[in-house]
């Protein structure tokens, strides 16, 4: 019993290419659906606050769509044509899309992605203290 590896390789390559294409289509669907849903939610309410929410929703759908498209590029490039040229092209695509993702996070959240604020940290507000005034480090440590 002999296994024809060239036929198996051709079939596997076909299916991997098909999976990569499906992932790309899903990424484009996320982009289009996110923009359409955000626009639908924005149309009824046109105030400054809702415009900010509109921008945030579009930015988040762009981020998710870009992540899925990067995954599709990785599947199609690494699994099908692993050459130095295709690997260089993949690296360039990933760098560009990563930069776009970082700038979108900066635009949406006002901070770089690696500057996460801890969710458990709460800011204590003293009603007698003016806004923006902070305690000195000596007063915090001495219990005053």
Q: Which of 77, 70, 78, 71 is nearest to 95 (CA)?
A: 70
Q: What is the pTM of this model?
A: 0.64
d(CA 30, CA 35) in angstroms, rounded, equals 8
Start-to-end CA span in the chain (Å): 85
Q: What is the pLDDT of residues 67-111, one digit of tens each?
A: 898 888 888 887 776 778 878 888 888 888 888 878 887 877 777
pLDDT at residue 121 greater than cutoff 70: no
Number of domains in the chain: 1
34, 61 Cβ separation under 8 angstroms: yes
- Token pair for 6: 């060239």
Higher pLDDT, 68 or 55: 68
pLDDT reported for residue 131:
47
108, 41 Cβ separation under 8 angstroms: no
The packing angle between helices 48-80 and 84-109, to 10°, is: 170
Range of the domain at 104: 5-142
- Alpha carbon 28 to its chain's center: 14
């Amino acid at each position: 019993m002999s296994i024809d590896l060239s036929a198996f390789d051709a079939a596997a390559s076909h299916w991997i290419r098909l999976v990569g294409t499906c992932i790309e289509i899903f990424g484009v669907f996320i982009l289009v659906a996110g923009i359409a849903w955000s626009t639908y939610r924005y149309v009824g309410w046109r105030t400054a606050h809702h415009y900010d929410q509109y921008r945030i929703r579009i930015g988040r759908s762009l981020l998710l769509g870009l992540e899925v498209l990067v995954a599709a590029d990785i599947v199609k490039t690494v699994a099908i044509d692993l050459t130095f040229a295709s690997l260089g092209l993949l690296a360039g695509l990933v760098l560009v899309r990563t930069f776009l993702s970082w700038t979108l996070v900066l635009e949406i959240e006002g901070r770089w992605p690696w500057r996460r604020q801890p969710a458990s940290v709460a800011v204590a507000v003293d009603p007698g203290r003016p806004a923006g005034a902070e305690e000195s480090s000596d007063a915090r440590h001495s219990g005053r």
